[in-house]
Amino acid sequence: MEDSRIAMPIGTALDRFIKSRQTAFPYATGELSQLLRDIALSGKVVNREINRAGLINLAGAAGTENSGGEQQQNLDVLANIRFARALEKGGEVCAIVSEEEERVIEVNRKAHYVVAIDPLDGSSNIDVNVSIGTIFSIYRRISEEGKPVTMEDALQPGRNQVAAGYILYGSSTMLVFTTGRGVNGFTYDPSLGEYFLSHQNMQMPLEGKIYSVNEGSYHSFPQGVKDYIEDCREKGYTGRYIGSLVADFHRNLLKGGIYIYPSTASNPEGKLRLMYECNTLAMLAEEAGGMATDGTNRILDIVPTRIHQRAPFFVGSKNMVERAKELVEEAKMIEK
């Protein structure tokens, strides 16, 4: 059986890459391929608006709140509209779970895919010109085609994902995604309006020397997290925390490292959302040889009960996430 990870040459256009590997995609009817194209296209539009935000008065707060009561930025609202419209027009999506929408949005009852999305994560960084990102997961619907979408379609564990990815609006704009056969990165060339393969079959180093955590909340961290941070300090690791999940994750994917958002006093369940932040990056991490837990349990095995539920999040180089798990569990044993 041909290994579908066989690398396409660097510089391959996204469209050609998707087409050439469609046969290896699950349910290779072209629907998932089209859905990935719809997401990539929306990313181009959002990228353009981000780059001009300061010029067309798009930066700043919208004066409204999202599902979690967090301040929405103008670009949060705009990105949500762009992705929702593209997914509706594309016709491949039966439902959308979005950080910016309170409830599940039913789109097309005849379609086969559910998309969970954070249209623009890290948006509070927009005004200070720090990298931000779109994070998306794709699931196969469970309910029968043509019937109303059910909560069972939306509340699937991360291990059910058929695809996961992010768009990083950074010094360059990149689309990084997996369909369960390795992780590939595409760099956007705005002069041609196209994404080109720039990072083939990305592998997360098993070990790293970078830990990303907001140490401002150190005093309310669980003891095991404090022990792990001490362990990193004793080993002379570097602390790097951009405050934008996709940017921190992407750096760790390339260089090795761990990102931690544990439970804190202000976020007892952790701050990050299981459906469209933790699950997405957990699938990418595992596909690239990394690991993702809630400190103890595999993220992808958590069965969600609410679409916006949060989870403590430890993701990155396998050896680092395992070391953190060891110290978290040791601390729990001592506390018993």
Q: List interacting residues with ligand P6P (CB under 6 A).
A: 121-122, 124, 214, 243-245, 248, 271
Residue 142 Cβ, how far from ligand P6P at the closest point, in Å? 28
Residue 248 Cβ, how far from ligand P6P at the closest point, in Å? 6
Of 112 and 271, nearer to ligand P6P (C-beta) is 271
SS (H, E, C) the chain: CCCCCCCCCCCCEHHHHHHHCHHHCCCCCCHHHHHHHHHHHHHHHHHHHHHHCCCCCCCCEEEEECCCCCEEEHHHHHHHHHHHHHHHHHCCEEEEEECCCCCCEECCCCCCEEEEEEEEECHHHHHHCCCEEEEEEEEECCCCCCCCCCHHHHCCCHHHEEEEEEEEECCCEEEEEECCCCEEEEEEECCCCEEEEEECCCCCCCCCCEEECCHHHHHHCCHHHHHHHHHHHHCCCEECCCCCHHHHHHHHHHHCCEEEECCCCCCCCCCCEHHHHHHHHHHHHHHCCCEEECCCCEHHHCCCCCCCCECCEEEECHHHHHHHHHHHHHHHHHHC
Residue 244 Cβ, how far from ligand P6P at the closest point, in Å? 5
Residue 271 Cβ, how far from ligand P6P at the closest point, in Å? 6
Neighbours of 294 (CB within 10 A): 23
Of 17 and 314, nearer to ligand P6P (C-beta) is 314
Residue 217 Cβ, how far from ligand P6P at the closest point, in Å? 7
Distance of CA 195 to the CA centre of its chain: 19
Tokens 């009852």 correspond to what residue?
109
Residue 70 Cβ, how far from ligand P6P at the closest point, in Å? 7
Distance (Å, whole) CA 124 – CA 117: 17
Residue 327 Cβ, how far from ligand P6P at the closest point, in Å? 21
Beta-bridge partner residues of 97 = 116
Q: Are strands 93-98 and 71-73 parallel, antiparallel or unpaired?
A: unpaired
Of 214 and 319, nearer to ligand P6P (C-beta) is 214
Of 47 and 214, nearer to ligand P6P (C-beta) is 214
Q: Are 178 and 184 in contact (CB under 8 A)?
A: yes
Of 12 and 66, nearer to ligand P6P (C-beta) is 66
Of 121 and 153, nearer to ligand P6P (C-beta) is 121
Residue 71 Cβ, how far from ligand P6P at the closest point, in Å? 10
Of 15 and 70, nearer to ligand P6P (C-beta) is 70
Q: Are 37 and 44 in contact (CB under 8 A)?
A: no
Residue 232 Cβ, how far from ligand P6P at the closest point, in Å? 17
